[in-house]
Chains A and B, each alone.
Chain A
Amino acid sequence: MTTDTNMKSPEAAAVPPSGPAPVKKRVPRGHKRLLTRRDRITLGFMAGVPTVLHVALVWVTALASIALAFTSWDGIGFGSIKWVGLDNFKQLFNDNPQFWPAVEHNVIWFVVLILIPTPFGLFLAVQLDKKIRFSRVYQTAFFLPVVVSLAVTGFVWQLVYNPDTGLINSLIGANKPGHYIDWIGDPHLNLWAVLIAASWRHTGYMMILYLAGLKGVDPSLREASSLDGANEWQTFKNVIFPTLRPTNTVVLVVTIIEALRAFDLVFVFNKGAQGTELLSILITNNIIGESSRIGYGSAIAVVLLVISLVVIIPYLISTFRKERSA
């Protein structure tokens, strides 16, 4: 199905421009082709190559990993693939002590991102939108963490959190026996420690999204509301925020995606040890290893896929509905 639509759409799009051409010159009958042979080959390549790549890299791999979730495979040669039915899922739900904590942590990740850095990013965006002095400097400063790769962010925060030599423990003297704070290892602390780092980055991301949204707000709306005597908070609450609705949808989707794909920061931080388990890390640990459990890892990946679909499908349905009514 995807192949068809992808193959046709560029061609269909290319048809109209050549429409006026026959007016100038009379085209002999029997040569009604609008595109030359070369055009067709070019278009075929332009549509075909991406389609093949897309199918091979997205659909085939996704479907293969779904299929592999029902097998046991160590990743060495195709001969060792063994069909095991639902065993992987049974093991996962019943026996794996890391699975449910991982699901829980992914949920916590989302809740924290939506409750703390998102409003804070909006706050910063509103302040910066007022064109205060040095607003570009602030903008750059807050956006900087987004530009830095998450792996690097992880290394930097590790230096801050290191229990023996890290910034925090050195400052507050919590690196001595007796009163010791293990930011990276303590399962009650480490998730929150990583979430601070994640929020630090997410704030900048949200700020930029909201800033873009705010730039799109019609200035006459502000004018009108101030003429009506609304104060700043009233203007924001009743006029500006409602116009940010499309941005909010984007923010929600982006945050959900961030929560589901959370990985790099934690992997650098402590490899998803006790307290920071995440689905993405469980997948990695099972699939990429000295002797991999690819079937088992794929089963976790399928769970992650199902969770993603539960979130994405309602979004897509509502988007398509809007497009249709528009």
Chain B
Amino acid sequence: MRDLSSSLPSPSRRGLLKGMGGAALLGAGIPLLSACGSSGSSSDPKTVSLGSNASDAVPKKAFAEIYAAFQKQSGITVDVNTKDHNTFQEQINSYLQGTPDDVFNWFAGYRMQFFAAKNLASPIDDVWEKIGGNFPDAMKKLSKGADGKYYFVPLYTYPWAIFYRKSVFQQHGYEVPTTWDQLVALCKQMKKDGLVPIAFGDKDAWPAMGTFDQINFRLNGYDFHVELMAGKAAWTDAKVKAVFDHWAELLPYHQDGFMGRTWQDAAQTLVSKKAGMYLLGSFVAQQFADKADLDDLDFFAFPEINSAYGQDTVEAPTDGFMVSKAPKNKAGVAKLLEYLGTPAAEQIYLKADSSVVAASSKADTSSYTPLQKKAYEMISGAKSLTQFMDRDSRPDFTSTVMQPSLQKFLQNPKGVDSLLSSIERQKKTIFASS
């Protein structure tokens, strides 16, 4: 990787020589990556390997269709290694240090920057020179590492919001709540009507983070979210305590037994109309197998709590691709990423998975479902976009401290003070470690 310097504006003499050595490859139009030197690996120039976390049925099929289209266009086969979504995340560290695939699925934000800063990913500025025009500035910002270089090609994004069934709201005459009090009143009414007001499953420990984020930036604003996630604001701050107080007020209206339930199972209670609402990312739509049910699905932004911030922030995690530190088939990788950065590739994905929206501003939105159109408007109309608690903060902090802590809160909403000071103590040591 150090050889990358040879492709920078003022190459050293040795770098120049090396660059000349790679001249044959330079012809392929990928100056930056080819400088890594053809490490002599006997890889097939007609294949690019790709580590995928798209283990769920819908995204897996959608990605496969993109790769098939790419193969038709370029003649390069994408050799996909799919791993279970959660396992992929847990093993990413050792995966990237071992013999990773050329390209891998990953997330925008802090998590991408972390691996970029650790030199476990290749910068792809050359690819962005070609695809840059396809993306709005917000996405460009999301795709850059801390060093200002591009490391990420975004494919799609999706908002977190409160999902509901139109028919259920019609049947009971519910109205979409726009303030906190209206939300609580609606929950009460739903409970009276024999519905589970808010579907919930936290077995995988991350869904609860989404609820925290929503209450937090509605109550304390985007800037506080950023400060808190970056480890700058204190968890013992009264502002954080207020978040948990609000959450505790809403907790009795959540579905029972959430600790033993996955989000997929929780989504089924919304599908079967047993639950009135569900706070989740729009990927919840993947669980609506029946088209009529899917057409009945709608969502609204989390209600306003503090009028100073209104509903100006939208949580919109962005997924895409990164290049591992020493890809075997650099020419192929560049071609693949350029393809993935085109609106055409995004449209193929969106056709198969209508639960998300394109990251590219050039993608054709005319074929969007009403749900996608609404998601697109919500994201493009937001003043600030957040990623997600574990994408905006250190993953070691969120996974070893926040996940168990939030689960603890959910089971005992009364012991918040000691919980918060425990989080703060652990946070300090983790953020101090590097």
Residues on A facing B (Cβ under 8 Å): 72, 74-77, 80, 82, 87, 91, 95-98, 161-165, 175, 177-178, 180-187, 190, 270-271, 273-274, 285-286, 288-293
4 closest A-B pairs by beta carbon, nearest first, are A185-B259, A184-B260, A182-B257, A185-B260
The answer to whether B400 and A95 touch across the interface, beta carbons within 8 angstroms, is: no
How far does the alpha carbon of A182 sit from the alpha carbon of B196 in the complex, in Å? 16
| B422 CB-CB contact with A under 8 Å | yes
Q: Which chain B residues border A290 with CB–CB below 8 Å?
A: 89-90, 92-93, 111, 395-396, 399
8 Å CB contact of B259 from A77, A87, A184, A285: A184
A76-B93, A184-B260, A291-B93 given. 9 additional CB < 8 A pairs?
A75-B97, A91-B426, A163-B261, A177-B255, A182-B258, A185-B203, A185-B258, A186-B411, A270-B203
Give the distance to chain A from B132, nearest Cβ to Cβ, in Å.
28
Closest residue on chain A to residue B118 by CB atoms: A76
How far does the alpha carbon of A180 sit from the alpha carbon of B261 in the complex, in Å? 12
The answer to whether A274 and B407 touch across the interface, beta carbons within 8 angstroms, is: yes
Give the distance to chain A from B305, nearest Cβ to Cβ, in Å.
26
Closest residue on chain B to residue A178 by CB atoms: B256
Can you show 13 pairs from A to B with CB atoms below 8 A apart? A72-B434, A76-B120, A87-B429, A95-B425, A163-B257, A164-B269, A181-B257, A273-B203, A285-B399, A285-B400, A290-B90, A292-B396, A293-B433
| B394 CB-CB contact with A under 8 Å | yes
- Mask: chain B, 81-107; 1 = CB below 8 Å from A; 0 = not: 000000001111110010000000000
Give the distance to chain A from B115, nearest Cβ to Cβ, in Å.
9
The answer to whether B259 and A186 touch across the interface, beta carbons within 8 angstroms, is: yes
| B408 CB-CB contact with A under 8 Å | yes
The answer to whether B430 and A293 touch across the interface, beta carbons within 8 angstroms, is: yes
The answer to whether A75 and B260 touch across the interface, beta carbons within 8 angstroms, is: no
- Mask: chain B, 393-404; 1 = CB below 8 Å from A; 0 = not: 011100110001
Residues on B facing A (Cβ under 8 Å): 89-94, 97, 111, 114, 118-120, 196, 202-203, 205, 255-261, 265, 268-269, 394-396, 399-400, 404-405, 407-408, 411, 422, 425-426, 429-430, 433-434
Q: Which chain A residues border B269 with CB–CB below 8 Å?
A: 164
The answer to whether B411 and A291 touch across the interface, beta carbons within 8 angstroms, is: no
The answer to whether B400 and A289 touch across the interface, beta carbons within 8 angstroms, is: yes
A291-B114 contact in complex given A72-B433, A185-B260, C-beta closer than 8 Å: yes
How far does the alpha carbon of A186 sit from the alpha carbon of B269 in the complex, in Å? 20
The answer to whether B399 and A96 touch across the interface, beta carbons within 8 angstroms, is: no
Q: Which chain A residues border B120 with CB–CB below 8 Å?
A: 76
How far does the alpha carbon of A184 sit from the alpha carbon of B202 in the complex, in Å? 11
How far does the alpha carbon of A124 sit from the alpha carbon of B406 in the complex, in Å? 44
A97-B90 contact in complex given A72-B434, A291-B396, C-beta closer than 8 Å: no
Closest residue on chain A to residue B268 by CB atoms: A164
Give the distance to chain A from B297, nearest Cβ to Cβ, in Å.
20
8 Å CB contact of A293 from B90, B118, B260, B396: B396
Q: Which chain A residues border B429 with CB–CB below 8 Å?
A: 87, 91, 95
The answer to whether B422 and A97 touch across the interface, beta carbons within 8 angstroms, is: yes
How far does the alpha carbon of A96 sit from the alpha carbon of B120 in the complex, in Å? 30
The answer to whether A289 and B395 touch across the interface, beta carbons within 8 angstroms, is: yes
How far does the alpha carbon of A177 sit from the alpha carbon of B94 in the complex, in Å? 43
Closest residue on chain B to residue A169 by CB atoms: B257
Counting chain B CB atoms within 10 Å of each CB, which of A95, A97, A186, A291 scores highest?
Answer: A291
A291-B395 contact in complex given A75-B94, A285-B400, C-beta closer than 8 Å: yes
How far does the alpha carbon of A95 sit from the alpha carbon of B430 in the complex, in Å? 12
Give the distance to chain B from A293, nearest Cβ to Cβ, in Å.
5
Closest residue on chain B to residue A288 by CB atoms: B90
Counting chain A CB atoms within 10 Å of each CB, which of B255, B256, B407 scores highest?
Answer: B256
How far does the alpha carbon of A192 sit from the alpha carbon of B433 in the complex, in Å? 37
Q: Which chain B residues border A164 with CB–CB below 8 Å?
A: 257, 261, 265, 268-269
The answer to whether B400 and A286 touch across the interface, beta carbons within 8 angstroms, is: yes
How far does the alpha carbon of A207 sit from the alpha carbon of B261 in the complex, in Å? 35
The answer to whether A76 and B97 touch across the interface, beta carbons within 8 angstroms, is: yes
The answer to whether B408 and A274 touch across the interface, beta carbons within 8 angstroms, is: yes
The answer to whether B94 and A288 touch across the interface, beta carbons within 8 angstroms, is: yes
Q: Which chain B residues border A163 with CB–CB below 8 Å?
A: 257, 260-261
Give the distance to chain B from A265, nearest Cβ to Cβ, in Å.
15
Q: Which chain A residues border B92 with CB–CB below 8 Å?
A: 290
A289-B265 contact in complex given A185-B260, A270-B260, C-beta closer than 8 Å: no
Give the distance to chain A from B373, nearest Cβ to Cβ, in Å.
33
Counting chain A CB atoms within 10 Å of each CB, which of B94, B259, B265, B434 scores highest?
Answer: B259
A182-B205 contact in complex given A95-B429, A98-B404, A163-B261, C-beta closer than 8 Å: no
Q: Which chain A residues border B94 with CB–CB below 8 Å?
A: 75, 288
8 Å CB contact of A75 from B93, B259, B261, B400: B93
The answer to whether B256 and A180 touch across the interface, beta carbons within 8 angstroms, is: yes
Counting chain A CB atoms within 10 Å of each CB, which of B90, B422, B429 scores highest?
Answer: B429
Q: Which chain B residues border A95 with CB–CB below 8 Å?
A: 422, 425-426, 429
8 Å CB contact of B411 from A77, A82, A274: A274
A274-B114 contact in complex given A91-B426, A290-B90, A291-B394, C-beta closer than 8 Å: no
Q: Which chain A residues border B91 with CB–CB below 8 Å?
A: 288
The answer to whether A182 and B93 touch across the interface, beta carbons within 8 angstroms, is: no
The answer to whether A293 and B203 touch across the interface, beta carbons within 8 angstroms, is: no
Give the distance to chain A from B312, nearest Cβ to Cβ, in Å.
30
Closest residue on chain A to residue B265 by CB atoms: A164
How far does the alpha carbon of A77 sit from the alpha carbon of B96 in the complex, in Å? 12
The answer to whether A97 and B396 touch across the interface, beta carbons within 8 angstroms, is: no
How far does the alpha carbon of A4 sit from the alpha carbon of B318 in the complex, in Å? 58
Q: Which chain B residues border A285 with CB–CB below 8 Å?
A: 399-400
How far does the alpha carbon of A163 sit from the alpha carbon of B261 in the complex, in Å? 7
Closest residue on chain A to residue B87 by CB atoms: A288
